[in-house]
């Protein structure tokens, strides 16, 4: 799938954003290894800790449908800056990404930059580093 097409799906998903506090709409489109695509939008909450990002919404939808191997994600935002996923979303994605996973970061004008996952998130918290009690 072309990056620009995946970004269009992310932009479409951003239209469902529930963002009454920030006014910042975010959409994500997640491409799975099998070619299926799951989209998500940000859902804010008056208690900001209860807010969920578009990227995690897409991941949760995919995993709830049995998909756990991802190839790339596109993120589209309502601002002019590129929509780069937050650290929490990148950590969340790290559970499921392929070695060559790509992150496509778009803006409101349809422009985008692309990063390999290891460049945008070079040091993730991995299960091997977890000390079980």
Catalytic residues: 55
**53 annotated among ligand-binding-site residues:** yes
Tokens of 102: 């790509």
**Is 48 part of any known ligand binding site?**
yes
Question: Residue 83 phi/psi, 5° resolution?
Answer: -85, 85
Task: Consult the annotation and say whether 89 binds a ligand.
Answer: yes
Closest CA to 73 of 62, 81, 65, 64: 62
Radius of gyration of the chain (CA): 14
86 annotated as a binding-site residue: yes
Cα dihedral 46/28/71/100 (nearest 10): -80
Rounded distance between C-alpha atoms, residue 54 and residue 78, angstroms = 13
Binding-site residues for Zn(2+), in ranges, read: 53, 86, 89
Binding-site residues for substrate, in ranges, read: 42-48
Binding-site residues, in ranges, read: 42-48, 53, 86, 89
């Amino acid at each position: 799938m072309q990056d620009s097409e995946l970004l269009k799906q992310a932009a479409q998903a951003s239209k469902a954003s529930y963002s009454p506090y920030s006014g910042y709409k975010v959409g994500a489109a997640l491409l799975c290894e099998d070619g299926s695509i799951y989209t998500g939008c940000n859902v804010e909450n008056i208690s900001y800790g209860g807010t969920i990002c578009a990227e995690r919404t897409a991941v949760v939808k995919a995993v709830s449908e049995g998909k756990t191997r991802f190839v790339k994600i596109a993120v589209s935002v309502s601002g002019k800056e590129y929509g780069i996923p937050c650290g929490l979303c990148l950590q969340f994605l790290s559970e499921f990404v392929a070695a060559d996973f790509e992150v496509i970061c778009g803006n409101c004008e349809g422009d985008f930059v692309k990063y390999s996952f290891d460049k945008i998130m070079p040091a993730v918290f991995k299960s091997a580093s977890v000390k079980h009690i």
